Amino acid sequence: MSKPLVTYNATTGALRNNPDAFAEKNDYVASIVWETEVGQEVSQGETIATIQWGNGMKEALDSPEGCSGKIKYLNRNIKYEDLEYKPAQLLASIS
């Protein structure tokens, strides 16, 4: 079973990339397109972004277990080349 691409901390509201999961993909991220906006309510399992991989494949990025609330922040300056390296980047803040 593959590792989830993102983790969510319910205490801080931080949605972060999981570097180990991105490294497992053996491909680079070409782009991440947010399917949500700041102020929007999201719930667990909802698609919040679409990842386009270097090979042209697209993958929905769904909010993980326990993740629901209002989006307070979306990181529009993600360093794609660093998603597979620690430390994890803050992708969004949800509370």
What is this structure's pTM?
A: 0.94
Confidence class of residue 1 from pLDDT cuts 50, 70 and 90?
A: low
Handedness of CA 47, 17, 40, 76 (dihedral sign): negative
Could you tell me what percentage of the chain is helix, strand and coil, using 3-state DSSP and rounding each to the nearest 5?
10, 40, 50
Q: Residue 10: which residues within 8 A CB-CB, separation 6 or more?
A: 66, 67
Q: What is the pLDDT of residues 54-94, one digit of tens each?
A: 999 999 999 999 999 999 999 999 999 999 999 999 999 99
Q: Delineate the domains of the chain, giving CATH numbers in brackets.
A: 6-94 (2.40.50.100)
User: Is 80 within 8 Å of 17 (Cβ atoms)?
Assistant: no
Q: What is the pLDDT of residues 7-49, one digit of tens each?
A: 999 999 999 999 999 999 999 999 999 999 999 999 999 999 9
